[in-house]
Amino acid sequence: MPSQSNATPMLQMKGITKRFPGVLASDHVDFDVRAGEVHTLLGENGAGKSTLMKILYGLYQQDEGEIFLHGKPVKLTSPANAIAHGIGMIHQHFMLVPTLTVAENVSLGLKSSRGVLSDLKNVSKRITELSKAFGLHVYPDEYVWQLSVGERQRVEIIKALYRDASILILDEPTAVLTPSEVDDIFVIFRKLADDGRGLVFISHKLKEVLDLSDRITVLRHGKVTGYTTPAQSDRHDLAHLMVGRAVKLAPDKEYVETGESLLSIKDLYVTGDRGRQAVQGLSLEVKSGEILGIAGISGNGQRELAEAIAGLRTPQSGKITIAHHDTTFSKPGEIREVGLSYVPEERMKDGAVGEFDVKENMILLNHNKAPFCKNGFLNFRHIRQHSEELVKEYAVKTPSIDSTTKNLSGGNIQKLIMARELSANPKVLLASQPTRGVDIGAAEYIHERISQQRQRGTASVVISEDLDEVMALSDRIAVMFDGKIMGIVAQKDATRESIGLMMTGEQQQESVA
Amino acid sequence: MSDSFAVMIIVATIASGIRLATPFLLASLGEALGQRSGVLNLGVDGVMLLGAFGAYYTVLQSNNLYYGLLVGIAIGLLIGVFYAFITLNLQAEQGVSGIGIYLFGLGMSDLLFQKFVGTPRPILPFMPLDIPVLSGLPVVGEMLFQHSIIVYIAFGLVPVMSFVLYRTTYGLNIRAIGENPEAADSLGVSVMATRYSAIIIGNGLAGLAGAALAIELGIFQQNLTNAMGFIAIALVYFGAWSPKGVMIGSLVFGLVQAIVLQCKTFGVIPRSASDLAAMAPAIITILALVVVAKRFKQPSALTKPYVRGG
Amino acid sequence: MKKFNLSLSALLLALFLLSPSALLASGKALRVAIIAPSAQNDLAFTQSIVDGINAIKKDRDIELAITDGTFVVEDAAAAIRDYAKKGYDLVIAHGSQYGGSLKEIAPDFPDTAFAWGTSADTFGLPNVSSYEAASDQGGYVMGVMAAAMSKKGGVGVIGPIEVGDAKLYVDGFVMGAKAQNPKIRAKVNYIGSFSDVALAAEAARAHMAAGADVLTGTAQMVVGAIGAARAKRVAWFGTQANQTELAPEIVVASQVYKWEVILKKIIADMDNGVKGGKMYDINLANNGIVIEFNDAYKLDPAVKEAGMKAIAGIKDGSIVTSHK
């Protein structure tokens, strides 16, 4: 432990070890939380943060180690048990029932004061009180499906507060929030800590960790690799602890002369899944050698825009030109022919076939062309050779090219898709959420690869919810809100604040780019 | 045709529709409960058949109609325990397991009937209740208040189930678990126990539906239900998983059947179109399903086994 | 888990297939198989053929196998082929819906005699005979009596689908009722199903509400109608088998098929080397059809008298029903 305080910590986890078949998910981890502090658990996906917290929340039982609450050893055997001990969890994937009201969600699993009858009136009253006390703006009678993501998160917080949680586990709570929502929620978190609660903040976003934490514990491969504080460390130090080596957080960028326009979108209208106008009169221009980043909260038409460009969704009106070809109403295959490579948002749904092996996914686009295919038969010699090369070149970590794709990690599947897409030598690269759920090492590599496309003269579009990613990669940043571009700024002029404002629908004041 | 005769026929038709709707209503209320908790049971018809035989045989032996109803329910509850075990503990695929239950019920009920009864012997069915004042009312009296007790049990269960689903903590648990079992589990609601209870009660209602049918008809024979259980499942979708909706669905189905029957009796529907008209209830149900399916979503967790942390 | 599921399904399947009829069969001599759509004790169509064979069994050594409950035609076809393969001498496909299957199967087994009904079609095959019941004759007699005893002047008929034996019976009944009382309201309701017992019950109630005080009906779903009639003490005429047991209070009389009359002929022809190509028929005249009265029912002698007159008239040819 880096520091010892006089008071007994609210929570102490000592030597926690948890084994899963073939994995040591948690390896003698020590962790504690004191009243009034935010203690961050930092680590990559699979570092063991979730396992540790699931043990704390009674979802798993540890194989070794002990848990103490206020100095007394406890056995946490179920969520109900953990709740009874004052432990609350704000899950990353909200544990809410959309078809129920806020009050119903909150009262779920609680003893009712009226026996078998539910007592939503009392619950509603208490929710309103808690909401006022902490500035949560939660209304008990609203249905959860009507709420925005930010509102749903506040419902989760109310759920924990309602159960008198003194220890709050916050599992990646900012993953789905806008920058301004993040600011708001951090104020609430701080208030909750000041009120005497102990908060466990789980995250892999370095900037946020430094902003919010009192103390930081870093995990890698189930082991603690460091205890630190924001005062002692900066982003690079944290990344180093997480990955185990120095990490470049933003790719080096050389100046590249931009060339002719390779992707042009004029006045595009696209209908979304539920007949909603998802893209509304959007225009864009991307030149050879530049990267345009599209920032915005997901659900503002980015997916529909990407699908329209890739030919997976037919636009209502407008015009899309790729490398001087009008591709507005072309089929996906035709669009690829003129030079588009597409890295889709849902890599396991649209990007790769999980049941296929690595080599099959590598040639998924060209499987019907020479040299991979001759007279309708696959030529496995060429396929193997090509796949071996790409796996090596793109550092895809896989036991072999015959391994089933779904068994690879998210980062390696994404590298596989990048390898396939970039090896097609695109004129236009469209990448949606290229590093979502990908570990830092792989993200670094993917960023490097996208950045290299500038030298090749590719016109690249990177759509991402991760503002840091957009800021690091792009030459210009466009912000999308409600199907429209709120403004486009050059990367050097962009600030988190100005972009954050546009993400919430504020129109850009003056035109820059 | 005189006016009073026309009124009499309309009253008879509605009364007939209500009677026809009753077994569907019982079965689909039970199915709705199970589906609300996230478990599909395609075996309703099989449970109904076994419930029907059990009730019939019990009445045959004891001459007590209420014993018959109780045995029908008990058989349903028992199958419910079994079905819950294979779908929840063993996590068997729900569609296939349900069909297994159906085939089992279809074969077993006939086997037992052949073995223990053989030649069909009638039992005395429930007589229509004589409700003071109400039964004697003109028009509505015959339409609504001269039915057997089973009809009132079935329709009485609608508000009871609505109350349980929407006003009790148990109902809240069921609704939550059918949509997002992880959420319920994370708050300490036992997914297993809640689903077990919903399946068992649901199957009990299916058993009661079969018992009601056999006792109402006063007879049992092979495949007595004639696939009613499958219609009941469709009616759950029709009724958008709410007790009230299921009741409306059952009534529509029963009334259309009764109207078609009445029209045929009076030759309104020509003999040549008779077979076509027999399909009317099914067609109307399918059309309604198409409309409903667009507006309502089934419980999100339906047919998905729940594994903690999975 | 998978293994368990598999064995579970196997168990369920075994229970399902374990229908009691498959357990019968023994002895030697003439081997006869019956494939029929409903239960062999259905007090209706299927039971009539089983009773027929059993009647012959007294005089002749017969090994009988029955597959009943094959309302699915494909199942019946499989059973027919199976019996033929096993070398049964006579395979009886007792259901007009089995005709198509028989037409395909019979040529593959020229040494087996097939009989099917009710139909008049032998497909021109030398080893297929067909049989039919003149159920219109019995229907006519019932119709006469029904019209004679109706006080309200209305009789109701419940049928399944307007085909085959059911159509013959219903048409005969209506014809008889009109002959007895030209003003009679004879309403017919084909409910569109052979198996919907609940709907048949409601059809009976609809008839009663519309002013019918005598009912009849044909096919296995009428047990529901009989129950509904019994609850209101409305008279019932049965057909295909003696239905008195189902409702002793209301069943006036039943038309009963004595298939043994033609089964004897078929077997006699087989003894002479004729395996088919012939059409057989039971009727009042050859005593293949008999009207069995329920002695417990207090029937107006005048009504019975009218019925007996109709029987005599049909037998001597002075009354001609729709059949032939």
Inform me whether the pLDDT recorded for C5 exceeds 60: no
Q: Which residue in B167, B168, B172 is closest to A108 by CB distance?
A: B172
Q: Per the domain annotation, does A367 fall within a domain? A: no
> Tens digits of per-residue pLDDT, C186-202?
999 999 888 899 999 99
Residues A265 and A343 in one domain: yes
- The per-residue pLDDT for A3 is 42
Q: Per the domain annotation, does C270 fall within a domain? A: yes
Q: Which residue in B168, B176, B186 is closest to A117 by CB distance?
A: B168
> What is the number of other CB atoms lying within 10 angstroms of the CB of residue B275?
16
> Tens digits of per-residue pLDDT, A111-136?
888 888 889 999 999 999 999 999 88
Q: Which residues of chain A have a CB within 8 Å of the CB of B175?
A: 97, 99-100, 104
The answer to whether A228 and A199 are in contact (CB under 8 A) is no
Residues C106 and C234 in one domain: no
Question: CATH number, domain at B58?
Answer: 1.10.3470
- The per-residue pLDDT for A507 is 76
End-to-end CA distance of chain C: 63
Q: Per the domain annotation, does C51 fall within a domain? A: yes
**Which of helix, strand or coil describes residue A479?**
strand
- The per-residue pLDDT for B290 is 80
Largest Cα separation within chain B, whole Å, is 70
> Tens digits of per-residue pLDDT, A190-235?
999 999 999 999 988 888 999 999 999 999 989 999 999 999 999 8
Neighbours of chain C (3+ CB pairs under 8 A): B
B175 touches chain A (CB under 8 A): yes
- The per-residue pLDDT for A407 is 81
How many contacts does B have with C, using Cβ atoms within 8 A? 157
Supply the range of the domain harboring residue A127: 11-243
Q: Per the domain annotation, does A58 fall within a domain? A: yes
Cβ of B221 and C205 within 8 Å? Answer: no
Q: Where are the alpha helices (DSSP H) in chain C?
A: 2-17, 45-57, 73-85, 99-105, 135-149, 164-180, 197-209, 222-231, 260-271, 301-316
Residues A124 and A77 in one domain: yes
> Tens digits of per-residue pLDDT, B258-305?
999 999 888 888 877 877 788 888 888 788 778 877 777 888 899 888
Q: Which residues of chain A have a CB within 8 Å of the CB of B300?
A: 98
- The per-residue pLDDT for C18 is 47
Chain B 137-176, CB below 8 Å of chain C: which residues? none
Q: Which residues of chain A have a CB within 8 Å of the CB of B167?
A: 117-118
Q: Which residues of chain B have a CB within 8 Å of the CB of C188?
A: 271
Q: Which residue in B172, B182, B308 is closest to A104 by CB distance?
A: B172
Burial classification of residue B115, based on how many CB atoms lie within 10 Å of its CB (0-12 exposed, 13-18 middle, 19 or more buried): exposed
- The per-residue pLDDT for A259 is 87
Residues C76 and C151 in one domain: no
Residues A217 and A301 in one domain: no
Q: Which residues of chain B have a CB within 8 Å of the CB of A159?
A: 187
Cα separations in angstroms, C109 against B122, B202, C278: 43, 51, 17
Cβ of C156 and B110 within 8 Å? Answer: no
Residues A63 and A143 in one domain: yes
> Tens digits of per-residue pLDDT, B57-84?
999 999 999 999 999 999 999 999 999 9
Question: At which of A185, A216, A243 does a domain end?
Answer: A243
Closest residue by Cα to residue A252 from A449, A392, A464, A463? A449
Q: Per the domain annotation, does C56 fall within a domain? A: yes
Supply the range of the domain harboring residue C246: 135-257+287-316
Peptide bond into A371 cis (omega under 30): yes
Neighbours of chain A (3+ CB pairs under 8 A): B
Q: Per the domain annotation, does B211 fall within a domain? A: yes
Strands C214-217, C154-159: pairing kind: parallel
Closest residue of B to C11, CA-based? Answer: B104
Inform me whether the pLDDT recorded for B102 exceeds 90: yes
Q: Per the domain annotation, does C63 fall within a domain? A: yes
Residues C211 and C304 in one domain: yes
- The number of distinct structural domains making up chain C is 2
Chain A 151-190, CB below 8 Å of chain B: which residues? 159
Q: Which residues of chain B have a CB within 8 Å of the CB of C70?
A: none
Task: Label residue C175 by pLDDT band (50, 70, 90).
Answer: very high
Task: Label residue C23 by pLDDT band (50, 70, 90).
Answer: very low
Interface mutation vs chain B, best among C5, C152, C207, most B CBs within 10 Å: C5
The answer to whether A429 and A461 are in contact (CB under 8 A) is yes
DSSP E strands: which ranges in chain B? none
> Tens digits of per-residue pLDDT, A475-484?
999 999 989 9
Strands A167-171, A215-220: pairing kind: unpaired
Cβ of B266 and C187 within 8 Å? Answer: yes
Q: What rounded mean pLDDT belongs to chain B?
A: 91
Distance CA B97, CA B305 (A): 13
Residues C86 and C155 in one domain: no
ipTM confidence score: 0.88
Question: CATH number, domain at C45?
Answer: 3.40.50.2300
- What is the least distance, in Å, from the CA of B308 to any CA of chain C? 18
Interface mutation vs chain B, best among C41, C72, C75, most B CBs within 10 Å: C41
Interface mutation vs chain A, best among B167, B169, B194, most A CBs within 10 Å: B169
Residues C23 and C52 in one domain: yes
Q: What rounded mean pLDDT belongs to chain A?
A: 88
Supply the range of the domain harboring residue B180: 9-295
Q: Per the domain annotation, does B303 fall within a domain? A: no
Residues A43 and A138 in one domain: yes
A108 touches chain B (CB under 8 A): yes
A124 touches chain B (CB under 8 A): no
Q: Per the domain annotation, does B174 fall within a domain? A: yes
Residue A501: CA atoms inside 13 Å, Cβ hemisphere, count? 11
Q: Which residues of chain B have a CB within 8 Å of the CB of A118?
A: 167-169, 171-172
Q: Which residues of chain C have a CB within 8 Å of the CB of B45?
A: none
Question: CATH number, domain at A445?
Answer: 3.40.50.300
Q: Which residue in A60, A79, A94 is closest to B187 by CB distance?
A: A79
Q: Where are the alpha helices (DSSP H) in C256-300?
A: 260-271
Q: Per the domain annotation, does A277 fall within a domain? A: yes
Inform me whether the pLDDT recorded for C323 exceeds 60: no
Q: Per the domain annotation, does A371 fall within a domain? A: no
- The per-residue pLDDT for B73 is 98
**Which of helix, strand or coil describes residue A432?**
strand
> Tens digits of per-residue pLDDT, C102-138?
999 999 999 999 999 888 889 999 999 999 999 999 9
Q: Which residues of chain B have a CB within 8 Å of the CB of A99?
A: 175, 179
Residues A335 and A277 in one domain: yes
Cβ of C223 and B219 within 8 Å? Answer: yes
B309 touches chain A (CB under 8 A): yes
> Tens digits of per-residue pLDDT, B6-30?
888 899 999 999 999 999 999 999 9
Residues C41 and C118 in one domain: yes
- What is the least distance, in Å, from the CA of C39 to any CA of chain B? 7
Q: Which residue in B108, B120, B257 is closest to C43 by CB distance?
A: B120
Closest residue of B to A57, CA-based? Answer: B186
Residues A224 and A308 in one domain: no
> Tens digits of per-residue pLDDT, A409-457?
788 888 899 999 998 889 999 999 998 878 788 888 899 999 999 999 9
DSSP letter at A16? E
Q: Which residues of chain A have a CB within 8 Å of the CB of B169?
A: 107, 110, 112, 116-118
Q: Which residue in B171, B173, B182 is closest to A95 by CB distance?
A: B182
Q: Per the domain annotation, does C321 fall within a domain? A: no
- What is the least distance, in Å, from the CA of C248 to any CA of chain B? 10
Chain B 19-38, CB below 8 Å of chain C: which residues? 19-20, 23
B64 touches chain C (CB under 8 A): no
More confident residue, B114 or A65: A65
Residue A50, amino acid: S
